Structures are given as structure tokens and as C-alpha cells.
Structure 1
Amino acid sequence: MQNIVGIDIGGSHITMAQVDPEKREIINSTYVREHVDSFGPKETIFSAWISAIEKVSHNLDKDDLLIGIAMPGPFDYENGISLMQQGKFIDIYQVNIKEELAGRLSISSDQIYFINDAGAFLEGEVFGGCVQGFSKIFGVTLGTGLGTAFYNGETATDEDLWDSPFKNSICEDYLATRWFVNHYAELTGGKISGTKDLLDQSEDIQSRMFDDYADSFAEFIIKYVKNYDPEVLVIGGNIAKVYPYFKKRLNQHLEEHKINLPIKISAIFEDAAILGAAGYALKKSYR
């Protein structure tokens, strides 16, 4: 069996696990999550990454190891070079991460593959999640930010719609967690941190907010997602967990616009990027 490690690199953590390519699932006993100071110097970042990778792969044959890494952009995914010029990871701008990791792990750079984090989420759902067997899939992650990806039957690509024009601003302002925070403050003068807090409020305010959110999400699907002509829409991220609260109104809007689009909720949520990065590495290694 091929030894594969899937890795999800975020702004404050690195999360990873070994993946069983036959069962298409994470081997839970190998799960590793470490804090990373992404604003720190290059050596601090790489030391944290290497420490975590060595923990997850210590019992694997390095000659037969594949590593798939889900990475935020901007990034040169083919060559493994960071293009992030501001904020997090600024000290590794233009560093060839693929070569750095390969050298520090004593493996070939050909054993390491990178994929965009939004694409990795959708690859994970295709590889071992809720949309196995579909060939045209649109994926949306609804959380702190807005992630969008499209799977064309071969590969999932980041569609980068988060800052596309929407109403009087951009898509992310209406579909990410901050919309719930801001809209709740507008309606009540109070504070919530997200959808979990909203569920503790009165039914009236919940209904009002989830209806407003459904209106925006439907408009987003009509304006952008419909153009891809997907067979299915898969939703992940924390907001997907409250889908039952806005499902009915969302589907009513889609029916009114004669959009017959099945919607599936992520089967693996936070693990989707790890599974997707591993599945992507496996797929690329065969080519």
C-alpha cells in the first residue's frame, strides 16, 4: 500500500495525517496538529512544519512516501514557491518550499505535491467524501472566508470568487461569518461571534437572519455557480453545519429560477483538505 500523508497548512496551524488510499480515509491514530507562527522568520516556520511532518511519518518508508499539501494562495503550486507578499508567511516569499521540505526530510522533491486549499477541500469530497462518482462539481466553503472550487472530472481548481462583485460589495462580505456578526449587530445592537452563537438567540432573529442569508446565497448561485452547469453543489465550512436553517428558503429561490441543483453537505468537513491533498498527490504521481 502506498504511504501517503495529507497536509493542510493554515495561517496558524499545520494539520496532517496518514491516509489509507484503499479505504480513502484518514488514519485517525496518526493525526497531528501543531501551532505555527506564520508571522515568524523562515526558520521558525520550517522548523514547526518539519517537526510535525516527522511525527506523522516516523514509521513510514521515506522512499515510498507521497506528501500532498493544501496551501493558501497566492502560490506557485506546480513548482512549490510561495508568492504571499503580505501578512502571514511573508518571510518565505519566493522561497521554493518543495525543495526546502525535500532537503530537510531527505526525500525527492518529486514526492511532494501542492494544491490550493479550496481545491483540496473539493478533491477530498471527490476522493473520499459526499460526491464520489460525480464528474462536474462546484464546491463552496462557507466560514471565516469564502472558498470556491470547480471539479471538471479530472482536477479541482480554485475559482477565486470571494472578491467578485456582489450587491454593493463583494461575495465574501455576504456569505462569510462576518456577515452574520455584522448583520446581527445591525438588527439588534448586540454581538455574536458566528452562527453557533446565533442558535442561542430568539427564533425570530434566527429566522430573519437565516432568511436573509438564504436570499444572498441563492443570488450567488444564480449569478455565479449556475454558469458552471454543475451536477451537484457541495458545501463545507462551519456555516454548512447550519444548512438546515436556511435550506428551505434557498431551495425555494432555486426552484423559482428553474435551477435543479442537488446540494450536499460535506461528509468530512475539516478533514476534507487533508484527504484531498493526499488524493491529489496520489493522482498526480500516477501521471
Structure 2
Amino acid sequence: MTDQIAIGVDVGGSHITSAAVNLRTFEILQNSSFSAKINNKASKEIIMQDWCIAINKTIESASLQNRATIGFAIPGPFNYKTGVALFEGDNDKYESLYNVSIPQELPKFINSEQVDLRFLNDATAFGVGVSTQGKAKNCKKVIVVTLGTGFGSAFINNGVPQVNSDDVPKDGCLWDKPYKSGISDDYFSTRWCIERYYEITSKRVKGVKEIAEANTEESRAVFNEFGSNMAEFMIPFVKKFQAEIIVMGGNISKASDLFLPMLKSELQKAGLQTAFEISPLLEDAAIIGSAKLFVPDFWNLVKNELPEL
């Protein structure tokens, strides 16, 4: 039975969550999910030890001490083919892991005799997960966006992330594509919401939740602008990919009722009848998506498509 179980790990900036996934049903095993807080400014050894606090608890809960197959949903920059981390000072996280081979270093801290590690971009893993379990599983072409500290995305065709296809942007991602005076990540992230709210109100807040809870004309203006901007940016990509549904996740998506009406309206004006889902799966989707790397048929489809940055 254990050969039908893989561990999925969602690596965040401040915490990590690990869980065991049944590869036949894509359900998370009961009592196998564990989280640990992470200081992403710590040394390489401390970070890896802390990652394995959660991972080793999952291994014990699922009796995987003999062999553990572990898929990681991890943000970039990262070489997903080789497992070498490429975080630098500009990323403001995990700098001590720069140029570190995770497959070479991490198994030293893992309580299993045989360890196999595979890696997927965190937004892509979320996309694979929601295409496996969510409303999108009945759709062929899915665009997934994660809205939080950064702007993550994935283009999914028949459950498989697209990286080099002609109908998707370069590397199958959106965060680095030009928009207005910068790139899209500058506009579809928590920091944009905070700065725009400050520009309008001269009030400094810590996060999007505070802006949403303000429920003022100014706060509504921020979300309307966010939705309008997102529509303007997304429409060409939605048209080219012919997406049936856009699935959203991340902290900003929790305020979707404040920006989604504007986004939908603008897409409809452009002649698009794209469906939307705010995924209830949250980090579970990334865990399911990363564990799926150990389904042989799926792995054979994606292993040569993994981005190296």
C-alpha cells in the first residue's frame, strides 16, 4: 500500500506543510498533515532541520520509514529539474540555500532509509491540484493564479501544466511579463494593494485583510482598480489559451467578492465567458499537485517540461 502513497510538501516563506497523499484517489491521508514555522533567514542546516520537523512527522504517520517519495511545491527561482535552489538577495527569502542541491542535502535530515525528491513550482502544483480535485477537473483548459506576496500562475491542459506550448506565455508563467510601468507581479500582489491604499488614504496597513475590512469608498476603489487591471492584463492570455475556467488561490483571493465583479465584467465586455472558482483547497491543492509527481504517467508528461528557473 505504501507504494501508492507519496508525500506532498508546500514550502512557504514562513512555514512549511507536509502531508501524505493517496495516489489512487488523490486524497490526503487522515492525521498525516503537519506544519512547522520557518525562519527563512536562518542557516542552511537550520532551515532543512525545520523543514523536516513536518516531513518526518508525516513519514511516521504514514509508516514510510523504509522509502519516502516526496514532491515539493516550492517558489522560484529554482531549478525544478535538478532541485538546486536559486534564491538570492533580491528574493528576500532562503538566501542561505542559494546554489544548494536539495536532493543532495535534505535527505540527511529525513527519517527514511530511501528518499526520492521531485520539485514543482508552487503555483503550478496548486494548479495541478485544483485540476485533479476541484471544479476545474471537468475542464480541459485551466488558468490558475495565486494572489499573495507574489503573483503565481499556471496553464493546465488536460491536467498537465504547459510550459513550452505555443498558446502560453514564455515559461508558462505570468509574474514576470510586462505590465504598465513594470511587471505584473508589481500590480497583482499584496504590496500593490497596500501601497495603492496608502496613496489614496495616507493610511498604512499590514495586509489586504485590513483593506477589505475597512469597507469604505476608498477601499472599494482599490479592489475595483485591482480587478480592472487584472482584466486588462489577463484578457490576451485568456483569449490565446482559450481557457474555460480561471481558478484563484492565495490570500488576496479571500477578498474576491470585492474585485471579481469588475474582473468578470471586463472579461465579458471582451467577449469572454470564462468561468471562475475561488479554490477552497488552499495549500492542500499544492500538496496534492506536488505528490502527483510520483504518478508515473503524469511524471512522464511533465519531467521534460520542468522550468529551470
- TM-score surpassing 0.5? yes
1:83 aligns with 2:86: yes
Secondary structure of 2:214's aligned partner: coil
Q: What's 1:258 paired with?
A: 271
Deviation, structure 1 residue 17: 1.2
1:136-215 residue pairs with structure 2 within 5 A? 136-156=141-161, 157=163, 159-215=172-228
Deviations 1:96-130 (A, max 9, x none): 21133345434445x32111111111011112223
Question: Per-residue CA shift, 1:113-157, capped at 9, x if unaligned?
Answer: 111111111011112223113222111111111101111225325
Deviation at 1:202, TM superposition (A): 4.1
Where does the alignment leave 5 or more consecutive residues of structure 2 unmatched?
164-170, 301-309
Task: Give SS of 2:280's match.
Answer: coil
Map of 1:12 onto structure 2: 14
> RMSD of the alignment, in Å?
2.3
Partner of residue 94, structure 1 = 99
Higher mean alpha-carbon deviation, 11-20 vs 195-204, is at: 195-204
Letter in 2 for 1:226: K
Structure 1: any 5+ residue segments left out of the alignment? none
The superposition leaves residues 142-193 of structure 1 with CA deviations (integer Å, 9 ceiling, x where unpaired) of 1111101111225325633213211222212222112221111111111233
Residues 286 and 190 of structure 1: is their aligned pair in 2 closer, same or farther, counting only changes over 3 Å?
closer
Separation (CA, whole Å) in 2 of partners of 1:89 and 1:57: 24
Letter in 1 for 2:12: G
Contact 2:68 2:114 in 1 (8 A): no
Contact 2:131–2:159 (CA under 8 A) maintained in structure 1: no
The TM-score, its normalising length taken from structure 1, stands at 0.89
Offset from partner CA, 1:176-214 (integer Å, 9 cap, x none): 112221111111111233332123324422332222122
Partner of 1:117: 122
Amino acid at match of 1:76: N
The whole-number CA distance in structure 1 between the counterparts of 2:72 and 2:231 is: 32
Whichever residue aligns with residue 42 of structure 1, its letter is K
1:257 Cα deviation (Å)?
A: 1.0
Q: Which residue of 1 aligns with 2:53?
A: 51
Say if 1:283 and 1:155 are closer, same or farther in 2 by CA, change over 3 A.
farther
- Bigger Cα displacement from structure 2, 100-109 vs 176-185: 100-109
> Do the aligned residues in 2 keep the contact of 1:71 with 1:116 (CA within 8 Å)?
yes
Aligned ranges 1:57-76 → 2 under 5 Å? 57-59=59-61, 60-76=63-79
- Length-normalised TM-score, structure 2: 0.83
Distance 2:27 2:145 in 1: 21
